[in-house]
Amino acid sequence: MQVTESVRMAIGAIRANKLRAGLTLLSISIGVFAIVGVAAAVGALTASIDKQLESLGRSTFIIQRDPAFAMGGVGDRRAQITLRQAMDFKNRFTAAQEVSLTNFIGGVVIKFEEKSSDPTFFIVGGDESYLPTNDFTVEEGRSIDPMDVQNGSDVVVIGADVANKFFSQRSAIGKQIKLNGYPYTVVGVLQSKGAVFGQSQDNFVLIPITSAARRFFDEWGSSVSMAIRAPSIETLEETMDQAIGLMRIIRRLDIGKENDFEVITNESLSETFGGITKYVSWFGAICGGFALLAAGIGIMNIMLVSVKERTREIGIRKAIGATSGNILSQFIIEAVTLCQLGALIGIGIGVGMGLAVGALLGIVAPIPWGSVGISVGICLLIGVVFGSFPAWKASQLDPIEALRYE
């Protein structure tokens, strides 16, 4: 008897007991969902972060005080990288094609005329390369230019959220707004980039880092981060070595002392993040594995009940010519079909979740084929392993006894 025929029979049997089969499917689906869903969500997250890292460029690296992902607490507090040190570095470091300085100050109150905001905005202290590097486009007016940075001018480019809040109907250019009480003149408005994870990307203002240092650094204890672009990917390593050397001189580190700053590349970020996501994926897989084990026992239980209930059917089938092998394979295939239907649902929901997370992050999430394959494989195994005993019991029924069964 062909497998297709058995699968058809199995589907018929499952349809005859929709509720029971449904509940069993559910337990399988949950297990598969844990495996595929977590993998899909992690995949979406990874893809999103890779995309963001790409904007950094492969020949660019960052020097900043703290690591990008802190696993546990940061040990000893490191001294901040001051603007003076950063400017010193920028002036002396000739190996780089470009050095861009950035600094973030959070919880800023913005005020225009009588209207005042909650302290939910942040200030980016940057230079002329901040906007292009981070993929922002000026909608109206201009960006800050090298002269602004050199002079420490009190000019500001405002994000779309700020513009909407204070200048919904009119032009913001030339207006004076107050950042934590300090007056700045608006020279540009940015195009909106939308939200990531419900988190707006437009709720900031950009001012020259020199101005930020003068106004806010002492008060905020801020540290400058430096994005350094090597002339090419080939010279990245060399440029990094030179940058570290120069930074050690500027930071006055003795030989033998460890760096008191972090060097972050696209790759090292990916690696760090990949390490974290690997644990998360494994965690999902282990949870899913246990769920599937429990589901497998459920499958065995349901199949045993099913064999008992269908004793007469088994008798009929045997009487009209089914061999023990036919009955054995029929019930194993039924268990496997049940498992695979559950897997299908779990995969559907899991991949759906991945796509949803991806949509939130503004990317098309990759389908985690590896996890899908593993899930299908595990479900096949579970169907065979936990379906075998009930199927074997069914196949060993005596046709005469089975036909008499009420």
Residues of this chain that interact with another protein (CB under 8 A) are 1-2, 5, 12-13, 15-16, 312-313, 315-326, 399-400, 403
C-alpha closest to that of 113 among 169, 171, 177 = 177
- The DSSP-derived string for 63-98 is EESS-SS-SS--SSPPPP--HHHHHHHHHH--S-SE
Is the Cβ–Cβ distance between 386 and 297 less than 8 Å? yes
**Which residue, 6 or 153, is less far from another protein as judged by CB?**
6
Contact 300, 389 (CB under 8 A): yes
Toward another protein, which CB reaches closer, 29 or 330?
Answer: 330
For residues 316 and 327, what is the distance between their CA atoms, to the nearest angstrom? Answer: 11
Cβ neighbours for 279, distance < 8 A, ≥ 6 positions apart: none
Least separation in angstroms between CB 303 and another protein: 17
Q: Which is nearer to another protein, 2 or 199 (CB)?
A: 2
Number of C-beta neighbours around residue 154 at 10 A: 17
- Residue 259 or 323: the one with the smaller Cβ distance to another protein is 323
Our CB check for another protein shows the closer of 104 and 405 to be 405
SS3 content of the chain, % helix, strand, coil (to 5): 55, 15, 25
Q: To the nearest whole angstrom, how small is the minimum distance from the Cβ of residue 23 to another protein?
A: 20
Which of 267-272's residues contact partners 24+ apart within 8 Å by CB, and which partners? 269/49, 269/53, 269/68, 270/49, 270/50, 270/53, 272/67, 272/68, 272/69
Specify the residue, 128 or 313, whose C-beta has the smaller distance to another protein: 313
Q: Residue 122 carries which side chain, given as an amino acid letter?
A: F
Min dist. Cβ of residue 305 to another protein (A): 17
Q: Which is nearer to another protein, 5 or 113 (CB)?
A: 5
For another protein, give the closer residue by CB, 55 or 323. 323
Residue 315 Cβ vs another protein, minimum distance, rounded to whole Å:
8
Tell the smallest beta-carbon distance from residue 396 to another protein (Å).
10
Give least dist CB 302 to another protein, A: 17
Nearest approach, Cβ of residue 377 and another protein (Å): 29
> Which residue in 45, 31, 1 sits closest to 280, CA to CA?
45
- Which two three-digit tokens encode residue 40? 């899909």
Cβ contacts of 177 within 8 Å, gap of 6 or more: 110, 111, 112, 156, 158, 162, 166, 183, 184, 186
Minimum distance between the CB of residue 381 and another protein, rounded to whole angstroms?
A: 28
Q: Which is nearer to another protein, 12 or 106 (CB)?
A: 12
DSSP three-state, residue 158: strand
User: Which contiguous run of DSSP H or E holds residue 62?
Assistant: strand 60-64
Q: How far apart are CA 24 and CA 328, in angstroms?
A: 20
Cβ of residue 394: shortest distance to another protein, in angstroms?
Answer: 14
Q: Which of 390, 291, 307, 308 is nearest to 343 (CA)?
A: 291
Which of 175, 51, 168 lies closest to 112 in space, CA to CA?
Answer: 175
Minimum CB separation of residue 301 from another protein in Å reads 22
For residues 99 and 92, give the distance between their C-alpha atoms in angstroms, rounded to a whole number: 11
CB of 380 to another protein, least distance (A): 24
Closer to another protein at the Cβ: 14 or 160?
14
- Choose between 319 and 364: whose C-beta lies nearer to another protein: 319
